[in-house]
Structure 1
Amino acid sequence: MSRHPPRPGAFTEPPKKSLGQNFLHERGVVDRIVLAIAPRPGEHIVEIGPGQGAMTFPLLDRHGALTAIEFDRDLLEPLTAQAAAHGALTLVHANVLDVDLTALAAGTPIRLVGNLPYNLSSPILFHALAHAAAIVDMHFMLQKEVVERMAAGPGSKVYGRLSVMLQAYCEVTALFTVGPGAFRPPPKVDSAVVRLRPRAADTVGIDDPARFAAIVRAAFGQRRKTLRNALGGVVDADTITAAGIDPQTRAEQLAVADFVRLANTVPVEPAAQ
């Protein structure tokens, strides 16, 4: 029996394991995501990793225009061909980690959406965080375990560096869980959709972002250690005490506001002459 040739613009490439591709296909899940995003006229929406267009085309139907960042060259032509019937799709062929999201916004804050590859989720989140001033909000599909870490509070076993760094700069809301069957191929874990809304710059309250990040990284680097030991060489015990924090406390017991206060208490070194 002869095989029918693929129609022009058809998606013929299978998901690539090397790129962490799990294509969303369940329309009910897509509709819930689009409803959560609730795009409004005039907004600049940017999708990370459109894949085979499961979210792209419904968003175009609802919004009319969309920018999408896609790394897989094999998906560019079919995305372009099929998008024509739905709206105006602007494709950026790049690794999102190499994309200057602030420049892409071009003065109009963007709304980020995407079913993120699970092997790159944390780097993408931190990359977006670096451009938070140019972002209105973010709606991402991620591994459920990662979403739990993102939204966790002090005292939780999964509360850590990711929790503190994201919550310091964003309001994090876990929306709903998605089972493996919604994807092709189905992953071995549950997924979840999360919303992040960057806080206004004047409400974050962090004097030195680099110092804050260094303290959070060190504090959770060896989470079983007390702050006195974990932060040795970064912050001394007197400074921890001056911030109103017991040096014998462990990082997982501190609220985000405690980390901000600690970072702001560290004496500023005089500039080199």
Structure 2
Amino acid sequence: MHKPKFSQHYLIDKTVAENVVKGGSFTPEDTVIEIGPGKGVLTALIAPQVNKLVCLEIDTYLTRRLQEKFKDQTNIEIIETDFLDWPIRNFKSQISNLKFISNLPYSVTSPIIRKALSNKSWTTAVFMMQKEVGERILSGPGSRDYGFLSICTQFYSVPEKLFNVSSSCFDPVPDVESIVLKFTRKKISVKDRAIAGKMFELVKAAFSQRRKTIINPLSDALNFPKTELTQILHKAGIDPSLRPEAVSLVQFLELTRLLANKS
């Protein structure tokens, strides 16, 4: 019996699988990237609905099983690779309508989501993940769950909750509950995309001391005098006495623009 090498939890509930796939609203024109197909539960449901299905599986044993299982389905390509190392830029230039789907590995959920959402060609993504992580993604300013991941995902997309998933729907049974989220890509201006990296650095710095007022961690990170930074914060519509969790994505973006113009 194959023992999971990467702490995988395989979805075994067919109804949940059908509902996850339904969330993708797939069409015969779609190209879909499935990240970590595992034993192919979602794969078998997606393939008849789409033009092309590319499955990226890091586990050698599972890759061989999938290749054997789907060897007669010409629209499925199974690649043994780690999605985080896979050169998606080379692939996406060949297609126009790209969607993602995955039962995400708990240990690398955040980096996978950030890589998927930050590329320019996708339209829709449906990801199942640990419920706690999903709640962080959905949270807004003023929530204790609001932070870097919330801002990063909401910069690139509009996330929405589809449904919760009980731990009993997986084998082996995880210690946590799961949630399925749908992401719809936002149109982002060239200028805003160009400063996205700077904004994320700013957000990370702010939340590195989330219990302090925002001027303190930013002053340390930027090496700015507090008097000068106070003026810039006010111009961005940010009260310097606020904690980072009270500052919106729009305000962080405006602050980044002002700082970029100053440098």
Q: Normalised by the size of structure 2, how large is the TM-score?
A: 0.91
Following the alignment from structure 2 to structure 1, what is the Cα–Cα distance between the partners of residues 191 and 164?
29
Contact 1:207 1:264 (C-alpha < 8 Å) held by counterparts: no
Indicate which of 226, 231, 250 corresponds to 2:243.
250
Identity %: 30
Q: Which moved more, 1:206-215 or 1:249-258?
A: 206-215
1:128 is aligned to: 116
Shift of 1:145: 0.4
1:162 is aligned to: 149
Shift of 1:187: 0.5
1:197 is aligned to: 184
Secondary structure in 2 matching 1:155: coil
Shift of 1:204: 8.4
Following the alignment from structure 1 to structure 2, what is the Cα–Cα distance between the partners of residues 158 and 261?
22
Following the alignment from structure 2 to structure 1, what is the Cα–Cα distance between the partners of residues 260 and 38?
48
Question: 1:258 is aligned with what amino acid?
Answer: Q
Secondary structure in 1 matching 2:126: strand
Shift of 1:89: 1.6
1:188 is aligned to: 175
1:146 is aligned to: 133
Following the alignment from structure 2 to structure 1, what is the Cα–Cα distance between the partners of residues 234 and 260?
13
2:75 is aligned to: 88
Following the alignment from structure 2 to structure 1, what is the Cα–Cα distance between the partners of residues 117 and 24?
19
Gaps of 5+ in 1: 1-11
Counterpart check, 1:69 vs 2:56:
yes
Following the alignment from structure 1 to structure 2, what is the Cα–Cα distance between the partners of residues 203 and 103?
21
2:230 is aligned to: 237
Counterpart check, 1:14 vs 2:8:
no
1:9 is aligned to: none
Following the alignment from structure 1 to structure 2, what is the Cα–Cα distance between the partners of residues 207 and 142?
29
Gaps of 5+ in 2: none
Following the alignment from structure 2 to structure 1, what is the Cα–Cα distance between the partners of residues 116 and 173?
27
Change (3 A) 1:253 1:191: same
Shift of 1:111: 0.4
Following the alignment from structure 1 to structure 2, what is the Cα–Cα distance between the partners of residues 207 and 91?
33
Shift of 1:130: 3.0
Alignment RMSD (CA, Å): 1.8
Shift of 1:238: 2.2
Counterpart check, 1:264 vs 2:252:
no
Counterpart check, 1:110 vs 2:93:
no
Contact 1:102 1:134 (C-alpha < 8 Å) held by counterparts: no
Shift of 1:200: 1.1
Shift of 1:201: 2.3
Secondary structure in 2 matching 1:249: coil
Q: Which moved more, 1:99-108 or 1:246-255?
A: 99-108
What's the CA shift string for 1:56-100, capped at 9, x where partnerless?
111123336411001100111210111135553201111110112
Question: 1:172 is aligned with what amino acid?
Answer: P
Change (3 A) 1:56 1:262: same
Following the alignment from structure 1 to structure 2, what is the Cα–Cα distance between the partners of residues 119 and 67?
22
Contact 2:31 2:51 (C-alpha < 8 Å) held by counterparts: no
Question: 2:49 is aligned with what amino acid?
Answer: R
Secondary structure in 1 matching 2:41: coil
Q: Normalised by the size of structure 1, how large is the TM-score?
A: 0.88
Question: 1:120 is aligned with what amino acid?
Answer: V
What's the CA shift string for 1:211-262, capped at 9, x where partnerless?
2111111111110011110211426222112212111111111121111111
Following the alignment from structure 2 to structure 1, what is the Cα–Cα distance between the partners of residues 192 and 82?
32
Q: Which moved more, 1:117-126 or 1:258-267?
A: 258-267
Q: Which moved more, 1:101-110 or 1:168-177?
A: 101-110
Alignment: residue pair count: 256
